[in-house]
Amino acid sequence: MKNRKGFILIFAYAVVSVIVILVAAYVARSVNEMRTAVREKDSASALYAAEAGIDIAFDWLKSQPSPPAGTAPFSVTGGTTLATGTYTVIIDPDDSNPASFTKRYKITATGLCNGSTRKVSLEVVQDNFSRHVWFTDSETFNGASVWFITNDSLNGPVHTNGSFNISGSPWFGDETSESGSAINYMHGGPPNDNPTFVEGISFNVEPTSMPTRATSLRAAAATSGGMRLYGETTVVLNSNGTMNVTNSNAGYNNTNMALPANGALFVENRIVSRRLTEYGNVNVRGTLNGRLSIGANNNINIAGNVTYNNSASTDMLGLIAERDLIIKQNACANGGDLTIQASMMAMSDSFYLENYSSSMKGTLNVLGGIIQKERGAVGTFNTSTNIKASGFTKNYVYDERLRTTPPPFFPTTEDFIPVSWREE
Q: Give me the pLDDT at residue 4, please.
A: 57
Q: Give me the pLDDT at residue 7, please.
A: 61
pTM higher than the cut 0.85: no
pLDDT at residue 22 is higher than 70: no
Distances from the Cα of 356 to the Cα of 8, 49, 187, 328, angstroms? 106, 57, 23, 10
Distance CA 245, CA 65 (A): 38
Q: Give me the pLDDT at residue 34, please.
A: 54
Q: State in Å, rounded, how far the first CA of the chain is from the last one.
A: 72
Q: Which of 107, 127, 147 is the last residue of a domain?
A: 127
Please tell me whether residues 152 and 123 are part of one structural domain: no
Distance CA 148, CA 191 (A): 16
Q: What is the mean pLDDT of residues 226-250?
A: 98
The number of distinct structural domains making up the chain is 2
Distance CA 104, CA 96 (A): 8
pLDDT confidence tier of residue 298, bands split at 50, 70 and 90 = very high
Any domain includes 420: no
Q: Which of 112, 127, 142 is the last residue of a domain?
A: 127
Please tell me whether residues 100 and 14 are part of one structural domain: yes
Please tell me whether residues 94 and 156 are part of one structural domain: no
Q: Which of 97, 127, 157 is the last residue of a domain?
A: 127
pLDDT at residue 15 is higher than 80: no
Q: Which residue has the higher pLDDT, 46 or 162?
A: 162
Q: What is the mean pLDDT of residues 354-374?
A: 97
Any domain includes 421: no
The candidate with the shortest Cα–Cα distance to 160, out of 192, 200, 188, 201, is 201
Full domain range(s) for residue 243: 132-412
Please tell me whether residues 77 and 191 are part of one structural domain: no
Please tell me whether residues 286 and 382 are part of one structural domain: yes
Flag the least confident range among 54-58, 300-304, 380-384: 54-58
- Alpha carbon 345 to its chain's center: 14
Report for 73-82, 169-178, 413-422: range of highest mean pLDDT: 169-178
> Mind listing the pLDDT tens digit for each residue in 175-234?
999 999 999 999 999 999 999 999 999 999 999 999 999 999 999 999 999 999 999 999
pLDDT at residue 348 is higher than 70: yes
Please tell me whether residues 185 and 260 are part of one structural domain: yes
Q: What is the mean pLDDT of residues 43-49?
A: 87
Please tell me whether residues 68 and 202 are part of one structural domain: no
Query: What is the chain's mean pLDDT, rounded?
Result: 91
Q: What percent of the chain has pLDDT over 90?
A: 72
Residues 6+ apart with CB under 8 A from 297: 266, 267, 268, 269, 279, 280, 322
